[in-house]
């Protein structure tokens, strides 16, 4: 393959097979187009409720770690408290999220999905899972491992932390 030496923006020390600028550009565009597909289905559902992606993100991470605090959510989402608060307020007002004052530390608010909130969460995540399941299945298990490996490398280091300690719902040792 590749008559004419493939261009890389580094020296010729790179493994020539996959680090050409052209390959990297393909990766960049893959991220762009795939992320659009990734958010398309939930976006449609959210629109019916008058919500946006910001609401989805909050709902997702509250569901993942019930009882999480506002501050913790803030550090995961990487937005200002004013931004998050606006979203959170509408979710609480609409009865999708419950905000309980902490028992150990009464300054903290612990966030939980209500039944209605959990319903919406299921609807959203199911749509998103359906697309991802199809993509995973069509690409195969080895591709999935590679997908995850590359994405993990692409994260900022401090976000990798949030990503890695998922799994159990111990979102801050709620009492």
Partner DNA sequence: AGTTTATGTCAGCCTTGTTGACTTTCCAAG
Partner DNA sequence: CTTGGAAAGTCAACAAGGCTGACATAAACT
Q: Which two tokens stand for residue 128?
A: 């998103």
CA angle 111, 113, 114 (to 5 degrees): 125
Is 144 a residue that touches a copy of itself (CB under 8 A)?
yes
Binding region for DNA (CB under 7 A) out of 25-33, 54-62, 120-128, 148-156 = 54-62
Q: Interface with a copy of itself by CB under 8 A: which range of 44-52, 67-75, 107-115, 137-145?
A: 137-145
Both tokens of 139, joined, read 């690409």
Contact between 89 and DNA by CB under 7 A: the answer reads yes
Of 57, 170, 163, 65, give the one whose Cα is nearest residue 120: 57
The helix-helix angle for 115-139 and 141-154 (nearest 10°) equals: 120
Q: How far is the CB of 101 from a copy of itself (least distance, A)?
A: 22
Q: Which residues contact 95 (CB under 8 A, 6 or more apart)?
A: 114, 116, 117
The smaller minimum CB distance to a copy of itself, of residues 78 and 105, is found at 78
Phi, psi (5° rounding) for residue 100? -100, 135
- Closer CB to a copy of itself, 1 or 50, in the complex: 1
Rounded (5°) CA angle 66-76-65? 15
Structure tokens given for 82: 């004013």
The one of DNA, a copy of itself, none whose footprint includes residue 7, by CB under 5 to 8 A per kind, is none
Among 32, 106, 107, 173, binds a copy of itself (CB under 8 A): 32
116 binds, among DNA, a copy of itself, none (CB under 5 to 8 A by kind): none
Nearest to 67 by CA among 102, 99, 112, 106: 112
149 binds, among a copy of itself, DNA, none (CB under 5 to 8 A by kind): a copy of itself
Neighbours of 106 (CB within 10 A): 8
The residue ranges that bind a copy of itself (CB under 8 A) are: 1, 9-10, 15, 17-19, 21-38, 40, 57, 60, 64, 78, 125-126, 128-129, 131-156, 159-160, 162-163, 166-167, 169
The residue ranges that bind DNA (CB under 7 A) are: 50-55, 57, 69-71, 74, 78-89, 99, 101, 104-109
């Amino acid at each position: 393959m590749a008559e004419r030496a493939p261009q890389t923006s580094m020296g010729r020390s790179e493994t020539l097979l996959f680090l050409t600028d052209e390959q990297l550009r393909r990766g960049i565009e893959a991220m762009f187009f795939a992320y659009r597909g990734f958010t398309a289905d939930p976006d449609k559902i959210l629109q019916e409720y008058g919500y946006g992606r910001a609401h989805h993100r909050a709902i997702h991470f509250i569901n993942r770690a019930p009882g999480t605090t506002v501050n913790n959510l803030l550090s995961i989402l990487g937005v200002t408290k004013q931004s998050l608060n606006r979203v959170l307020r509408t979710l609480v007002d609409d009865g999708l999220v419950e905000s309980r004052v902490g028992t150990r530390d009464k300054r903290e608010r612990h966030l939980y999905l209500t039944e209605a909130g959990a319903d919406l969460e299921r609807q959203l995540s199911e749509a998103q899972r359906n697309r991802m399941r199809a993509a995973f299945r069509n690409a195969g298990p080895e591709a999935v491992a590679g997908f995850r490996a590359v994405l993990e490398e692409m994260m900022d280091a401090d976000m990798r932390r949030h990503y890695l300690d998922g799994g159990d719902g111990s979102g801050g040792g709620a009492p």
